[in-house]
Amino acid sequence: NSKVIQTPRYLVKGQGQKAKMRCIPEKGHPVVFWYQQNKNNEFKFLINFQNQEVLQQIDMTEKRFSAECPSNSPCSLEIQSSEAGDSALYLCASSWEQDTQYFGPGTRLLVL
Amino acid sequence: GDSVTQTEGLVTLTKGLPVMLNCTYQTTYSPFLFWYVQHLNEAPKLLLKSSTDNKRTEHQGFYATLHKSSSSFHLQKSSVQLSDSALYFCALIASGGNYKPTFGKGTSLVVHP
């Protein structure tokens, strides 16, 4: 069973507000991923880290999202100015290099 | 770039029947293929994985064989159960790709009594 912890489980924000969610990856996993799962259940990759360094991120993440994975602290994903289209399930996953991803339960964001 | 195609968005079956969920992929690198299952309101979790050509891998009654010649990794089960109702995602990790998996769009499997 996955031991990836995500908080909060639910988040409600108004448009333009900041929305921040956190993830504690499985102990020892060096790679952390953030995904957005939309209402059609499709996964959109947002960003991944190896240890504290960003490996890859999409344009949207560069512009409106900020994310970090500091050592000895939870990883975080923050939307600087929430939009209605950001309403989704945000999944964090961790893994060894190029292997199985272990997912957390997700943070469900609703932007009103 | 890499891609994963799952042709069925929804599969509806009666309990006890066999099922095959299709997954094909494209990559220029050596592939590592995964099937994840996501039950309602739960996190996705690994069902099967393989990077070995032509070797069948099995777990919880499900099985799949990676065929590099046809770029496929179809998921099968000989007799579905009600508890198999879930979303199934095929994913590809291609070596040399910053560890970023490529997911298919997912197949929703609904099993009726």
Interface mutation target, options A1, A103, A107, A108, chain B, most CBs of B under 10 Å: A103
Q: Does B1 touch chain A (CB under 8 A)?
A: no
Q: What mean pLDDT, rounded, does chain A reach? A: 92
Residues 6+ apart with CB under 8 A from A9: A105, A106, A107, A108
Q: Give the total number of structural domains in chain B.
A: 1
Domain region containing B36: 3-112
For B7-55, what is each residue's pLDDT tens digit?
999 999 999 999 999 999 999 889 999 999 999 989 999 999 999 999 9
pLDDT value at residue B97: 61
Say if the Cβ atoms of A2 and B49 lie within 8 Å. no
Task: Write down all domains in chain A, each with its CATH number in brackets.
Answer: 5-111 (2.60.40.10)
**Residue A1 confidence class, pLDDT cut points 50, 70, 90:** low
3-state secondary structure (DSSP) of residue A100? coil
Say if the Cβ atoms of B100 and A106 lie within 8 Å. no
Q: Which residues of A touch B49 (CB under 8 A)?
A: 100
Q: How far apart are CA A21 and CA A8, in angstroms?
A: 6
- Phi and psi at residue A38, in whole multiples of 5°? -85, -175
pLDDT at B110 over 80: yes
CATH of the domain at B16: 2.60.40.10
For A52-93, what is each residue's pLDDT tens digit?
899 888 887 678 899 999 988 999 999 999 999 999 999 999
For B46-103, what is each residue's pLDDT tens digit?
999 999 999 999 999 999 999 999 999 999 999 999 999 999 999 999 876 667 889 9
